[in-house]
Amino acid sequence: MTSAPANPLASGSEPDQTDAAPVTERRALEGTGSRGSRIVGTLALISLAATALYGLVLSPPDANQGNAARLLYIHVPTATVAYLAFGVTAFGSAMYLWKRTEFWDLLAGASAEVGVVFTGICLLTGMLWGRPIWGVYWVWDARLTTTLLLFVLFLGYLALRRVLVGSPSRAKWSAVAGIVAAVDIPIVHYSTSWWNTLHQGTTISPQKTQMGGLMLFTLGLGFLSFLLVYWWLMIHRFRLQYLETRLDEVGLDTAIAERRAEAGRAGTSGPTAAGPELAEVR
């Protein structure tokens, strides 16, 4: 997974005057994509299109909820994938503290990013669905409250990661924060459900309806689509984080190489003589 993006950067670390410009170009073209990621991306796109087709056109409107029920084809899969993503973050954090390899840290970080996006989509679609069905955008139901807190918890986790960029202890501290957040989830869930049942009496929940075969198929398609989207985003975010951690190390070398190349093109003796000096200072 990590070998593909590493190559262009590795060759860029040699401050060779003639190679500097082509290396930059090649890297810009390559980005974080690869053959594998393009295959996953294409599959995700196809299945998303199929989900849209089945969800919006082919599947029938729900007997009780009408067309609003179509939101569930997005809502339920994003919610499930978000929980999966935070599970991966917790697992990656724990594995990092055990193995201390960069892979687990980057996995945890990338998964939290994607998880927060999916939680956001899940909350948004839930509110849009709640308005016509429940009459309000939000109810203080245990599951909703837990999901909202989860969203804020991992926003905090991401903020911490962002602030710690460049710190030698970033991975370790993030891992601790990730585990602490994960440990909190069951406590939050229990407290909100007790709180809710004691305060509100009954909980509003969607009626238990029998799902038709076509609707079930569409929901399954939704699950497949959003799992593929998760996978595809994970590949890119993982590679991007990998590149970001190397930016500090490689950035200076590249900058010096570029300046040298500029000086070489200018052709005067003064600036080229400054080259070795710069290297020594560094």
Which residues contact another protein (rule: CB under 8 A)? Answer: 97, 149, 152-153, 155-157, 159-160, 163-164, 167-169, 172-173, 176-177, 179-181, 183-184, 187-188, 190-192, 194-195, 198
Closest to another protein by CB, 132 vs 156, is 156
Report yes or no: 241 and 110 within 8 Å, Cβ to Cβ: yes
Residue 18 to residue 257: CA distance in whole angstroms: 9
Residue that has been written with the tokens 């978000």 in this structure = 82
> What is the nearest approach in angstroms of another protein to the Cβ of residue 79?
18
Report yes or no: 78 and 118 within 8 Å, Cβ to Cβ: yes
Closest to another protein by CB, 107 vs 153, is 153
What Cα–Cα distance (Å) separates residue 188 from each residue in 91, 106, 181, 193, 255? 19, 26, 10, 8, 48
Closest to another protein by CB, 153 vs 228, is 153
DSSP 66: B
Closest to another protein by CB, 62 vs 105, is 105
> What is the nearest approach in angstroms of another protein to the Cβ of residue 282?
23
Amino acid found at 117: V
Residue 136 to residue 101: CA distance in whole angstroms: 47
Residue that has been written with the tokens 């973050």 in this structure = 89
> What is the nearest approach in angstroms of another protein to the Cβ of residue 93?
11
Token pair of 242 as six digits: 């990998």
Report yes or no: 47 and 65 within 8 Å, Cβ to Cβ: no
Closest to another protein by CB, 29 vs 187, is 187
Amino acid found at 55: G
> What is the nearest approach in angstroms of another protein to the Cβ of residue 157?
8
DSSP 62: B
> What is the nearest approach in angstroms of another protein to the Cβ of residue 121?
20
What Cα–Cα distance (Å) separates residue 270 from each residue in 20, 118, 266, 281? 20, 55, 10, 17
Closest to another protein by CB, 24 vs 191, is 191
> What is the nearest approach in angstroms of another protein to the Cβ of residue 140?
11
Phi, psi (rounded to 5 degrees) for 165: -55, 130
Residue 250 to residue 203: CA distance in whole angstroms: 55
Q: How many CA atoms lie within 13 A of 249 on its CB side?
A: 13
> What is the nearest approach in angstroms of another protein to the Cβ of residue 161?
11
Closest to another protein by CB, 76 vs 160, is 160
> What is the nearest approach in angstroms of another protein to the Cβ of residue 171?
10
Closest to another protein by CB, 145 vs 218, is 145
Residue that has been written with the tokens 């590249």 in this structure = 254
Amino acid found at 124: L
